[in-house]
Structure 1
Amino acid sequence: MCIKSLRLICIFLIVGFINCGEVHPEKLIVGEMKCSHCSMNIVDMRFHTQIITYKGKRYHFDAIECMNQFQKDKQLRIEKIWVTNYLDQNEFLLKEKATIIQSSKIRSPMGAGFAAFKTYEDSIPFQN
């Protein structure tokens, strides 16, 4: 009986430690969440961005410019920032590894024309 209980406890601890590792971005369903800055529904997933703080609080944004302004206003301790790859709305990129451009060729939800790309080469056709 004691061995069964010990095994069960070990299994729960192992699963718990595995799930305490890397933090990942959340996938959203179009329109299910509002931007943490401007309160617009997030509907164009090419511009969806996320912040997670060191305390584990997650914020979602409909555009990179909303995330930038929110960051300035709130002065949070941020663990990670993810931006969506403009060319693949199912791919999140760490902000520091992404190429972010501002272009009049891009129609972002707030109109500033910011978009994130996996590589600089991917962004070339969209640059002014």
Structure 2
Amino acid sequence: MWFKSFKLICISLTVALVGCGDVRPEPLNVGEVKCSHCSMSIVDMRFHTQLITYKGKRYHFDAIECMDQFQKQKDLKIKNIWVTNYLNKSEFIPKDEAIIIHSDKIRSPMGAGLAAFKTHEDSSPFQN
């Protein structure tokens, strides 16, 4: 009897510890998901942004400005926010580490001209 209880405890602990791992952004295919704020299909992956709450709910956005508006409207306990590197659409950057600029040279899906870069040097050609 004690062996079955021990086995159940071990399985429970394993499941709990697996859930505590590092949360990473998930890649999407073009048009696979709609923006959690404006409901547009996410098609320009240079602007794809992800937000995950402490409860594990993941939200996808087609632009940084959609994510900003969504945050203002919702009372969420946010665990992570990732933005896509404008110059490498397969690379996510934690929002607090990204260089986010506003530029007339950038045409974002919602028209605000916001884009994220990994370094200041990468963003300089797009500065107004």
Identify the TM-score tier after normalising by the shorter chain: 0.7 to 0.9
Q: 1:17, CA displacement in angstroms? A: 2.9
Question: Which residue of structure 2 lines up, in the alignment, with residue 74 of structure 1?
Answer: 74
User: For 1:56-113, what per-residue CA distance to the aligned partner results, in whole angstroms no more than 9, with x for missing partners?
Assistant: 0000000000000000010211000000000000000000000000000000000000
Question: Which residue of structure 2 lines up, in the alignment, with residue 121 of structure 1?
Answer: 121
Whole-angstrom CA distance in 1 between matches of 2:16 and 2:126: 44
Match of 1:70, SS state, is helix
Whole-angstrom CA distance in 2 between matches of 1:10 and 1:75: 36
TM-score, normalised on structure 2? Answer: 0.87
Question: Which residue of structure 2 lines up, in the alignment, with residue 100 of structure 1?
Answer: 100
User: For 1:31-66, what per-residue CA distance to the aligned partner results, in whole angstroms no more than 9, with x for missing partners?
Assistant: 000000000000000000000001100000000000
Aligned CA-pair RMSD = 2.0
Q: How many residues align?
A: 125
TM-score, normalised on structure 1? Answer: 0.87
What code does the residue aligned with 1:109 have?
Answer: P
Whole-angstrom CA distance in 2 between matches of 1:89 and 1:12: 38
Where does structure 2 lack aligned partners over 5 or more consecutive residues?
A: 1-5
Question: Which residue of structure 2 lines up, in the alignment, with residue 47 of structure 1?
Answer: 47
